[in-house]
Amino acid sequence: MILRQIFLATLSIFLVLGYDMEFAAAEDCSACVQLTSHTFDKILPKFKAVLVKFDVVYPYGDKHKEYTDVAVSTKDSPDLLIAEVGVKDFGNKDNQDLAKRFGIKPDDYPTLLLFVNGRKEPYRFVAEKDDEFTANNIKRFIKKKTSLYLGLPGCIEKLDQLADEFKANEKDRKEIFNKAKLFEETLPEEHREAAKVYIKLMAKILEKGDVFVQTEQTRLENLLKGKLSVEKKKTMEERRNILQSFMFRDEL
């Protein structure tokens, strides 16, 4: 009887300090769709792009929060699905076959793969440092690899559309440049500074050609690696977001 009571007490402590802590720490991503080995190949073809996070069954922590932010902020995009695959290393070991299929090991969690309709292999999101695993960087990655519109901090949708036209129609660039200047005059004061960035970039591209986009991208990336004030870093990141609107997306 005494041994049984000791066993039950020990088990209770184990549950409270062990599994319960894991469950308590786990954070639900209500805007994410949970995929399994049975549903994975049925769901993916229904969307232009699907971002999938391969992770532990009960994910938590800063990276999971950032991923949740991506799901919430893109929930109204009908062509993009934000999903999760929880891989079990116990019991039935659910979804381990999916992880093996894409060469993902437990040490790799969380791993983000972007599946683009019409492309055989997924793109893998790479964050060289933990602090680069952010919602904005993930959305920037999606925008770069797809034709989907995602509003990034600092960007203005109408000017993003004009940027798309600008990069695709070289002979009409001066006309599009003039359209952007006229549109800038209609904007409220708080958006004027961002609009000026679009216009300055168009002017530089007209002067130096498309090569300017890549050299400016390199310059901004180098600046962002240095020591910047919070405000300066925010400004540089927003400029980088706008610049991406002028970049040609990766060929499928």
Cα separation, 35 vs 173, whole angstroms: 44
What pLDDT, on a 0 to 100 scale, did the predictor assign at position 76?
A: 84
pLDDT at 7 over 90: no
Ordered by start, the domain boundaries in the chain are: 25-145, 157-244
Cα separation, 204 vs 202, whole angstroms: 5
Measured CA angle at 251 (ends 247, 252), to 5 deg: 140
* Residue 97 in tokens: 């076959």
What pLDDT, on a 0 to 100 scale, did the predictor assign at position 237?
A: 92
Instruction: Please state the rounded mean pLDDT for residues 16-41.
Output: 69
pLDDT at 205 over 70: yes
Cα separation, 167 vs 210, whole angstroms: 8
The closest of 80, 61, 79, 78 to 70, measured between CA atoms, is: 80
Tell me the pTM: 0.75
Cα separation, 59 vs 66, whole angstroms: 12
What pLDDT, on a 0 to 100 scale, did the predictor assign at position 250?
A: 56
Cα separation, 78 vs 48, whole angstroms: 9
What pLDDT, on a 0 to 100 scale, did the predictor assign at position 248?
A: 80
CATH number of 157-244: 1.20.1150.12
Phi, psi for residue 91 in degrees, rounded to 5: 60, -125
pLDDT tens across 56-91, in order? 999 999 999 999 999 999 988 899 999 999 999 888
pLDDT tens across 89-103, in order? 888 889 999 999 999
Mean per-residue pLDDT of the chain: 87
Q: Which of 3-7, 169-173, 219-223 has the lowest mean pLDDT?
A: 3-7
Q: In this structure, which topology does domain 25-145 adopt according to CATH?
A: Glutaredoxin (3.40.30)
CB atoms within 10 A of CB 87: 22
Report the percentage of the chain scoring pLDDT > 70: 88
Q: Which residue matches tokens 């001066």?
A: 174
Would you place residue 50 in the very low, low, confident or very high pLDDT band (cuts 50, 70, 90)?
A: very high
Instruction: Please state the rounded mean pLDDT for residues 198-213.
Output: 96
CB atoms within 10 A of CB 10: 10
pLDDT at 249 over 80: no
Strand order across the beta sheet in which 49-56 lies = 33-34, 80-87, 49-56, 111-116, 123-124
Cα separation, 149 vs 78, whole angstroms: 11
Would you place residue 52 in the very low, low, confident or very high pLDDT band (cuts 50, 70, 90)?
A: very high
What pLDDT, on a 0 to 100 scale, did the predictor assign at position 26?
A: 54
pLDDT tens across 106-163, in order? 999 999 999 999 899 999 999 988 889 999 999 999 998 998 888 888 999 999 999 9
Contacts of 49 (CB under 8 A, 6+ apart): 79, 80, 81, 114, 115, 116, 117, 142, 145, 146, 148
Contacts of 15 (CB under 8 A, 6+ apart): none
E strand or H helix at 180, and its extent? helix 173-184
Instruction: Please state the rounded mean pLDDT for residues 196-201.
Output: 97
pLDDT tens across 147-170, in order? 888 888 899 999 999 999 999 999
CB atoms within 10 A of CB 239: 19
* Residue 214 in tokens: 């890549």
